[in-house]
Amino acid sequence: LGTAAAVAFAGTAAAADLTVGFSQIGSESGWRAAETSVSKIEAEKRGIDLKIADAQQKQENQIKAIRGFVAQGVDAIFLAPVVATGWDTVLEEAKDAEIPVILLDRTIETSDDSLYLTAVTSDTVHEGKVAGDWLVKTVAGKPCNVVELQGTVGSSPAINRKKGFEDGIASASNIKITRSQTGDFTRAKGKEVMEGFLKAEGGGKDICALYAHNDDMAVGAIQAIKEAGLKPGTDILVVSIDAVPDIFKAMADGEANATVELTPNMAGPAFDALKAFKDSGKAPEKWIQTESKLYTQADDPMKVYEEKKGLGY
């Protein structure tokens, strides 16, 4: 935001006085469900009134929800944008109403970055690169055909995790992506698309590794690999992103190999940035970056599973 807009959005407010509308994507994955519960917990801790609208994966529902929040005159809007494009008009409406918008976990493509106050996200290109680097190191020069399960078409993590992984394997001529298709970030679609990959690739004999843009699709694909009579984690390496409890169970069973952690606590830093902004009128950094940590089977997956279980999952 420019200084004038920042001042217009500001004005002192105790956290308890704040009402925040959150346009959430839906509940496509375990990670998403955890993000929703953690948001409620973080709001409650701060005495913030959080109104969550579940868009059931549809951008049109998110646009309607944002318009509803503007009409209600909320103090701020959190938006987890299902896809990256098509937000300018509705965000201009929020800006005209002097309601700051904070992006959570996904980014948007816009030529006007004053349409949002800040974005609390991980570096999704980096996540893909971490997964790619892990594979390069793990296969150590051996030929490796990779199948890729992409996230929701047009979403920032699907675009960026694809790019990051490709960057990670770029220097390894032994590694090739032979199939790549969307599994829409869901377990069911991950399984279904993996079944197709297995059929198309010699029953799976020609697949060395699966790269999934989230753990839920990996978990669905693991089921498909087992049903095809192969051992996930051994016959086909499995690397994915999110670090949800179920992938640690799979790692403990030797059925998944690595995951890159994405914290479900995007709302906590967003509430803090909002509160500081309301108190001071000073706009926060445009990007509040969350960490991305690699976990492998060497990281005591059962212990991590137990730790994760208590964290909103």
Q: Which residues bind ligand AHR (CB under 6 A)?
A: 28-29, 31-32, 105-106, 157, 185, 214, 216, 241-242, 262
| Cβ-based nearer residue to ligand AHR, 106 or 191 | 106
Least CB distance to ligand AHR at residue 11 (A):
31
| Cβ-based nearer residue to ligand AHR, 6 or 256 | 256
Residue 255 tokens, joined? 């059925």
d(CA 195, CA 198): 5
Least CB distance to ligand AHR at residue 266 (A):
9
Least CB distance to ligand AHR at residue 262 (A):
5
| Cβ-based nearer residue to ligand AHR, 31 or 116 | 31
| Cβ-based nearer residue to ligand AHR, 31 or 69 | 31
The three-state (H, E, C) secondary structure of the chain, written as one string: CCHHHHHHHCCCCCHHHCEEEEEECCCCCHHHHHHHHHHHHHHHHHCCEEEEEECCCCHHHHHHHHHHHHHHCCCEEEECCCCCCCCHHHHHHHHHCCCCEEEECCCCCCCCHHHCCEEEECCHHHHHHHHHHHHHHHHCCCCEEEEEEECCCCCHHHHHHHHHHHHHHCCCCCEEEEEEEECCCCHHHHHHHHHHHHHHCHHHCCCCEEEECCHHHHHHHHHHHHHCCCCECCCEEEEEEECCHHHHHHHHCCCCCEEEECCCCCHHHHHHHHHHHHHHCCCCCCEEECCCCEEEHHHCHHHHHHHHHCCCC
| Cβ-based nearer residue to ligand AHR, 204 or 220 | 220
Least CB distance to ligand AHR at residue 265 (A):
13
| Cβ-based nearer residue to ligand AHR, 216 or 246 | 216
Least CB distance to ligand AHR at residue 106 (A):
5
State how beta strands 209-212 and 76-79 pair: unpaired
Least CB distance to ligand AHR at residue 200 (A):
25
Least CB distance to ligand AHR at residue 131 (A):
12
Select from 118, 119, 93, 117 the least CA-distant residue to 106. Answer: 119
| Cβ-based nearer residue to ligand AHR, 6 or 65 | 65
